Structures are given as structure tokens and as C-alpha cells.
Chains A and B, each alone.
Chain A
Amino acid sequence: MKTARTGWLLPLICLVVALPALAVDVPLDDPALEERARHLMREVRCVVCQSQSIGESDAGIAVDLRRLIRAEIAAGKSDDEIRNFLVERYGDFVLFTPPFRAETMVLWIGPFVVLGLGLAFMIRFLRRRPSVAMPSSLDAEERQRIARALGKDGGENAA
């Protein structure tokens, strides 16, 4: 009987405890804008917990940046404007996809250069192989030895 009367208490406590979390991340009213905001949040690295995006992180600064991105989008800023805003303050590092520039060239082109080198070596190696390939056919003496080994001429078996 006692549990029946106090059964509503646990959900209420959970709700009250969770309220601050809800208040922090208020989604935008327009679902299209909210989708844009979420997309941006996945692109932006959390500067404290660096392998997470700000969309995934509970760090204080990530929460602040989420709020800021929503505010900027609501204020009519474009995605690029918001990206530039963040890069000006936190550097290229804040974007998971770094911009294509002289300093980031190695990042973008490096893997393809390594792949190209690997392919070049592989092609060289494969081209070389035919030159060391085995003779195309057996000569007369080899054919005789095989015939002997296979027992067509019994006398040679022991030798």
C-alpha cells in the first residue's frame, strides 16, 4: 500500500534532477534550423575532450558552444560564418575537417602520395616478375628424369 502511494515520487525526483540538463540544451523551434545546428555541432571538435564533437560532449565549454551555435543560427548566420567565427577563436583544430590550405596540404595530399608510391613500387615489382619466370617447357633430359622417377624405368628408382 505504501509503495502505491509513493510510486509517483521516483519519476518526479528524476524529472526534477534532469531539469537543469534540459534547460541547457533547448532545441530551436524550427526543425530545419535545429537540424543545421546539430550538423554543425558534429563538425566542431570539443576543445577540452578532443576526440569528441561538441555535440557529444558534456564539457562546460561544449555546452556553451552548442548554445552559441543555436543562437547564431537563430540570428540568421550562415554555416560558414559560424565556422569562421569558431576558427578565428580556436584555430583550424576546432574543425574535424580542416580547410584546404598550404599548412594543411600534407594532411589532405599525404595519404594519396603514400598510396601512389605504394602503387608505383607494386607495379615495378609485378613488371619485373616475368623476367625471372621459369623456363616455359622442360628440356629432353628433365623429361627423361621425370619419367624415370615415376617408375617407367624401375631401375632408377633406388638412385
Chain B
Amino acid sequence: MHRLFFILPLVVVLVLVAVFWRGLDPARNPASISSALVGKPVPPFVLPGLTPEMPGLGDADLRGQVTVLNFFASWCAPCRAEHPLLKELAAVPEIRLVGITYKDRLADSLRFLAELGDPFAAIGADETGRIGIDFGLTGVPETFVIDRDGIVRYRLAQPIDEARLADEILPLIAELTR
């Protein structure tokens, strides 16, 4: 028992070292929230298109094939930054890339797409942000990967970057479309 008292401070120090070591890991973001939606079916929704002629988007459209869903807005600078990578995703033949504009004026969304190109097979307009809440959105851009059964398999609550596209999104798509 006496010996334990001498070892105890060492044990405490080692535990603290482990805790702080983990805290120093640059890949760890303490502010990131694990999505409540991953592993669950997409919430039911139906959104109109940007113009009466353009197709809208609903949860029924997210079943049947692997879908990448991107929330974006014309007022969001990071959305502009990730746009070229969305075009790369749109070129993947096995998937369908769809978008939802989040709290954006229809005319502004259209101008954004006219300027940068429209990689989306269909776009729903969520002008009030209410559907965003159903997806647990914290901001834009956010990207979801949804499997054939309409189950959310992945959520990225930040802009897509080259590394995440290559290391996380594309491998997952390959796995889901196999």
C-alpha cells in the first residue's frame, strides 16, 4: 500500500501526458460536432427549383443511387472556393451530385451558377433554411454522401478540399457504388 503512494504521482502524470498529447494533435478539432444524421435516413423534404423550369429536389430523389448532396449559397465565400471540386465530383459517373441553396435569393443563386458553372443534376431552394435545420446544418458549405437506400453515410461540415475528396469522399463513393 505504501509503495502505491509513490507510484501514484507517476501514474497521474502519465495520464495527464496522454490527455495533453491528444489535445496537441493538429488533426483533432474539439469544436467539430459528430453528425446526428450519419447512419440515419435523410429527413423528408420537398424543395422547389430555382426557376419554375428547373427541377426541384426532395428526399425521394436521394434514393436509388449514391448521391452527393451539397448545401451552398451565393453569399458564402468558401462555397466559391470548393466549387471546382464539386465539378470533379459531378464527373464521377456512378453518382448523382445534387445541391440545396441555403438562405439565398433565387436570383443570386442563379447568378452564382451562371458565373461558376452548374455541376448539379438538380437543385432545391431552401430560402428559409428550415430544411437545413432538418439536416443539422451549422452553416454552408456542407456536404453529405447518401447511399442507395437514402441513408446518410458521411457528412462534411466544412468546404471540400483536395485531401478530403481523395482520402474520404471518393473512397466512400467507391465502396458504396461497388
Contacts and interface: CB of A to CB of B under 8 A. Distances in A.
Partners in one complex: yes
Interface of A: 47-48, 50, 60-61, 64-65, 68, 87-91, 93
A90 B33 contact: yes
Contacts of A47: 33, 136, 138
Contacts of A68: 130, 133
A91 B36 contact: yes
Contacts of B165: none
B103 A60 contact: yes
7 contacts: A47-B136, A48-B139, A61-B133, A88-B36, A90-B136, A91-B33, A93-B34
A65 B133 contact: yes
Contacts, number: 42
B129 A91 contact: no
Given A47-B138, A89-B133, 7 more contacts: A60-B129, A61-B132, A61-B139, A68-B130, A87-B36, A90-B33, A91-B35
Contact of A91 (B34, B134, B137, B139): B34
A88 to B, nearest CB: 6
Contacts of B136: 47, 89-91
B120 interface: no
B31 interface: yes
Contacts of A61: 129, 132-133, 137-139
B112 interface: no
Contacts of B132: 61, 64
Contacts of A64: 128-130, 132-133
Contacts of A48: 138-139
Contacts of B35: 91
Nearest to A91: B36
